Amino acid sequence: MKPMPFRLHVLLWLSGIILACLVTIPAKAPAQAAAADQLPEGPTKLLRFADISKDKVVFAYAGDLWIASRDGGAARRLTSHVGDELYPKFSPDGKWIAFTGEYDGNPDVYVIRTDGGEPKRLTFHPSNDMVLGWTPDGKNILFRSDRFSAPPSRYTKLFLVSPQGGPAKPLQVPRASLTTFSPDGTKIAYLETSQEFRTWKRYRGGWSLPIAVFDLKKNSYEELPKTAGMDLFPMWHGNTIYFISDRDGVMNLFSYDLGSKQTKKLTDYKEYDIKWPSLGPDAIVYENGGLLYEFNLASGKVRNLPVVVRAEDIETRPEFKNVAPSIGSYSLSPSAARALVEARGNIFTIPAEHGSIRTLTKEHSGIHELNPAWSPDGKWIAYLSDQTGEYELYTRPQMGGQESRITSDGGVYRYGPVWSPDSKKLLYWDKVHQLWFISLDEKKPILVDKSDYGDIADGSWSPDSLWITYSKPHRRGSNDVFLYSLGTKQVTKVSVGFYSDNNPVFDDGGKYLYFISTRYFYPSVGQLDQRFNYYSTDGVFAVTLKADEASPFKPQSDEEKAADEKKDEKKDDKKDDKKSADAKPGDKTPDEQKDEKKAEPVKPIQIDLDGISTRIATVPISAGILNGLAARKDKFFYLSTPQEARQFGTNDRTPKSILHVYEVSKREDKVLLEGIDGYDLDKEGKKVIYKAGPVYGIVEAAPGKAKVGEGKLNLSELQVKIDPREEWRQVFREAWRIERDFYWDPHMTGHNWKKIGERYEALLPWVAHRSDLNYLIGEMIAELSTSHTYVSGGDQPAKPHVSVGMLGADLEPDGGYFRITKIYPGENWNDATRSPLTEPGLKVKAGDYLIAVDGQETHSSQDVYSYFQDLAGKLITLKINSKSTPEGAWEITVKPTSGENGVRYLDWTDANRHKVEEATGGRIGYMHVPDTSFPGIIAFDKQFTAQLDKDGIIVDERYNSGGQIPDFYTEKLKRELLSALAPREGKDVPWPPVAIYGPRVMIVNELAGSGGDAFPWFFHRQKIGPIVGTRTWGGLVGISRGIPLHDGGNVTAPESAFWSTDNGGEWIVENHGVDPDYVVPQRPDLVISGHDPQLEKAIELAEEALRNYQGLPPRPKYPVAKQ
């Protein structure tokens, strides 16, 4: 798990095990689409990012900028682009508004006249440029950007740009986020990092930093007094710095008098936080409860700004959309005539070839219906629906018609259903690890089993509908297969309990039970470390259900038959031939006669439970990574995934699966389809529906008969009328339910979750854009005061994106052109760290000038990145010269990258490593671990194994963004010297060889979190070495799954929390962080002067420990044989 970096991306991890309480927001009838005149009377709400001038207020609403009088009234639209426009800031004279816009897909700085007009783009760098305000003299716009930050995207720096355009100029402060200038422009009050976008209220971890004042002329630094809580949005007016703080639980406005050094609370809101405050000439404007208010600086009084927005609200307009990209579950009808899919909360059947798509359920946007399943008799569709406000099971005739509600006890998230073969019962399971079945006649749920360690998610039926088989998780992370008898209610364990068994299915004949099991242990040896891992561990196994039933895979033996046996076989063949010759029109064919027999009542199967775990036989197929087992008569199907699926590469493309069919009587395993994501079978196993990316197709379930792309379903008419307002209401309520059902603490950390849901649902009528909905959901889930509560995605308007090519170099205006001041070395064998100007044979070096790009002459009055628009990844020609003139320039051909994060990060780590080596005489190594996911694992092993010759190592995990729980890091770092290996030739080798035995020191900071919290906590707990730096982020309540929202959005619910077994048991790290042994702030004044105080302290500690480190002792004398 990881804290959200500046770019606000999400990474999910860690399985959860705790139950959630069952509270319900009362269901309401879906509302009709609300036009502007149907909104509640009074001021418009959800007006965000406001700023105020002497007579106007500007704000963002529904992704666009609007302006209105400070006295309220109707607002006037300033922008209307499909991308978001935000952070509007008036110029000191009130004539201009600077803002961040996404006109070309990237957040850049723009400026527009207060009375409207065409916005002018000022920045072109591909990083995020977020407007903060203006310099007091109005000559420059202040913005923050993660350009040039290393590690990338983990913090921002400050820049100035002229409203007329030109190169952006960096301020010297190493890190800064929310910032305000002093009235004379010589100082700034700022936060090094901030959490204004975090969905985490009442945060108290290491990221909660003090507001500081930095003198730009003297390079001096002073912190304001800090209490518990988050202080945000410093605003400097006169001799007072205003800010908001949640030190009392809710964000309110405070002031700090620079003369008296006193802090004063100015507002006292109890319910909603103050959001996005902004300073004007005589007032502060802010949002609270969706409404805009101004705080008068002279009088200290607050008044509401009754602004009304009468917008077209184009994003709320109902429209027809093709929902094929939103298909969730899919399956086949019993005869394969149609496919059954769920998309955008609606259920459809799609013809295999001829006919029209049929919408099974009434078109709606305010109900989520999912997981449809076709009954084996072909008559019914079962599905889950939240139309009551909770997920219940329903059935409906397959041609449409009146639905029937099957369950009435909803209150927790459910999965399934799975039909019984007799089409009379349904199997389903729920979030609290319970497996159920229900009879359609009785409609009384029967509990089959419950697990303490995870979902029971693979239940299936016997052919006589009298048995259920499933696998149940247990403590060691494995599953056991069980049988449940509907007649006796008895549960019987089939597994031997030593392996992980899952995905059990009955064969159609009722003789065997197949399942997948992890029983093959073929170790692979790592090349970097003598450690072993196991990849292709799965196989398919069969259980004979009757004690006297022979295994279908018993040893075979070819034997000669007696002559009379051969004669009898020939007679039988002749009889069959005669029957065919004598057949009359209308007579049943042999196949039809078999079908009639199939239609006869299914006989109950016999299962001898005694000794069943001893009757497990191996199916002779290759071991692999297997899943998706399904059985039909005399054959079964399964998916295998290439071993590369468990490897991480720079492209991170997961290999597609291979569909196999195994014919039991012939003992033949054949490939049916390659390169698919999943499949489903018809009733007889004659046809298969497959998914391969966006393609769905129905083909023959026979080897060699089809390939991906054939039998493709026509999804062009999979249209649904989407009413955004209805859908947003459903999405909001589902997000609320997801937290209720999946949040790790069943008591919701003491919050009245029902009341919180109602508080924020009251603002739903004013949601006019999908991003507004995410904001509202984010405010709601933030009330849990927990890490890893994220909301993202949804059906957002598509934004065009124009790339910007990057050269991997620093360029500065000089002599009318741009001088290359530094070329970053990079690693050109790696796309992520390629540096275009270092390709072999290029005549270019630091100090040269960039004269032209693809024939266009550069001018230092422009932003240099404006010349590289739409050039990333393309071969271009640059004119280079050793002096600032076109005369004598030469041309080189390069391919710019789409970003420079990789080369700048590499340069930062190399510089740190060089500093450590130089200070310690090469005895101490240095490594930076950027995260605890695959990139970090690669970085750790690459750096660790390259420095095994060092006596000690400094482990820098500052800015670690998390991922997994990294006990795999500390396992290597804590290795102790056990012995040494003495070869005949050469030096002795310590054992284990992949280890560093001397001093080990860790550096942490407030931007290391999640897995980056666990890493130092384990490091400290295992007494590996001292920790230097500042307190970490403080987020060790983890997430594991993404629950699909109606429109493809995502909300996370932290499902499990870490606690320590020390001191009789205690919750650890969450909302506090890991405290270092040596607290060393990274003072900006010291950093500007060339210091890294944290790294320098780590070097000091490592050198001190080296004094007592003896290293590998000398080899003992060779033994002498005793006579």
CA distance 609 to 590: 36
CA distance 465 to 423: 9
For residue 296, tell me if it sits in a domain.
yes
Regarding whether 232 and 93 lie in a shared domain, the answer is: yes
What is the model's pLDDT at position 29?
A: 36
What is the model's pLDDT at position 720?
A: 94
CA 555 from centre of chain: 49
Regarding whether 932 and 873 lie in a shared domain, the answer is: no
Regarding whether 1068 and 945 lie in a shared domain, the answer is: yes
For 572-589, the pLDDT digits (tens) are 555 555 554 454 444 544
List C-alpha distances in Å: 758 to 741, 761, 776: 17, 5, 12
Looking up residue 1013, the CATH number of its domain turns out to be: 3.90.226.10
For residue 687, tell me if it sits in a domain.
no
Range of the domain at 846: 809-899
Q: Give the strand pairing for 1027-1029 and 1000-1004.
A: parallel
- What is the token pair recorded at 43? 């001021």
For residue 161, tell me if it sits in a domain.
yes
What is the model's pLDDT at position 836?
A: 98
Looking up residue 813, the CATH number of its domain turns out to be: 2.30.42.10
List C-alpha distances in Å: 996 to 74, 860, 948, 950, 992: 69, 50, 6, 7, 10
Following DSSP, what letter does each residue of 1030-1062 receive, concatenated?
S------EE----PPPTTS-EE----EE-EESG
What is the model's pLDDT at position 643?
A: 84
Q: Where in 226-326 does DSSP place strands (E)?
A: 231-237, 240-245, 252-257, 263-265, 274-279, 283-288, 291-296, 302-304, 307-308, 319-322
For residue 241, tell me if it sits in a domain.
yes
For 1094-1119, the pLDDT digits (tens) are 999 999 999 999 999 999 999 999 99
Phi, psi of 60 (to 5 degrees): -105, 135
CA distance 618 to 630: 17
Regarding whether 224 and 186 lie in a shared domain, the answer is: yes
What is the model's pLDDT at position 865?
A: 98
Of 287, 312, 337, the domain-final residue: 312
Q: Where in 431-569 does DSSP place strands (E)?
A: 434-439, 446-450, 460-461, 467-473, 479-485, 491-493, 500-506, 512-518, 523-525, 532-534, 538-544
Give the H or E element holding residue 563.
helix 563-582
- What is the token pair recorded at 493? 């364990």
For 794-833, the pLDDT digits (tens) are 999 888 899 999 999 999 999 999 999 999 999 999 888 9
Regarding whether 194 and 51 lie in a shared domain, the answer is: yes
- Select from 677, 660, 675 the least CA-distant residue to 707: 675
Of 864, 884, 899, the domain-final residue: 899
What is the model's pLDDT at position 14?
A: 30
What is the model's pLDDT at position 705?
A: 86
3 state SS for 683-699: CCCCEEEEEECCEEEEE
For residue 748, tell me if it sits in a domain.
no
Regarding whether 1093 and 1031 lie in a shared domain, the answer is: yes
Regarding whether 889 and 941 lie in a shared domain, the answer is: no
Helices and strands of the chain, counted as H and E runs: 11, 75
Question: For the chain, what is the mean pLDDT?
Answer: 92
- Select from 343, 360, 411 the least CA-distant residue to 1046: 343
For residue 375, tell me if it sits in a domain.
no
3-state secondary structure of 565: helix
Is 377 in contact with 423 (CB distance < 8 Å)?
yes
Regarding whether 165 and 97 lie in a shared domain, the answer is: yes
For residue 222, tell me if it sits in a domain.
yes
Regarding whether 42 and 130 lie in a shared domain, the answer is: yes
Instruction: Read off the DSSP letter of residue 624.
Output: B
Of 283, 312, 341, the domain-final residue: 312
**Low-confidence spans in the chain with pLDDT less than 50:** 1-37, 580-581, 583-586, 588-589, 591-592, 596, 650
611: alpha, beta or left, given left = phi > 0 and alpha = psi -120 to 50? left
Regarding whether 291 and 200 lie in a shared domain, the answer is: yes
Q: Where in 387-486 does DSSP place strands (E)?
A: 392-397, 404-405, 414-419, 425-430, 434-439, 446-450, 460-461, 467-473, 479-485
Regarding whether 233 and 91 lie in a shared domain, the answer is: yes
- What is the token pair recorded at 212? 């500081």
Total of domains in the chain = 3
What is the model's pLDDT at position 261?
A: 97
Regarding whether 968 and 891 lie in a shared domain, the answer is: no
List C-alpha distances in Å: 942 to 527, 651, 750, 961, 1102: 12, 18, 45, 18, 22
Looking up residue 142, the CATH number of its domain turns out to be: 2.120.10.60
Is 545 in contact with 616 (CB distance < 8 Å)?
no
Is 753 in contact with 785 (CB distance < 8 Å)?
no
3-state secondary structure of 878: strand
Rounded to a whole number of angstroms, the CA Rg of the chain reads 34
Is 346 in contact with 722 (CB distance < 8 Å)?
no
The pTM (predicted TM-score) of the whole model is 0.92
Is 938 in contact with 922 (CB distance < 8 Å)?
no
For residue 937, tell me if it sits in a domain.
yes
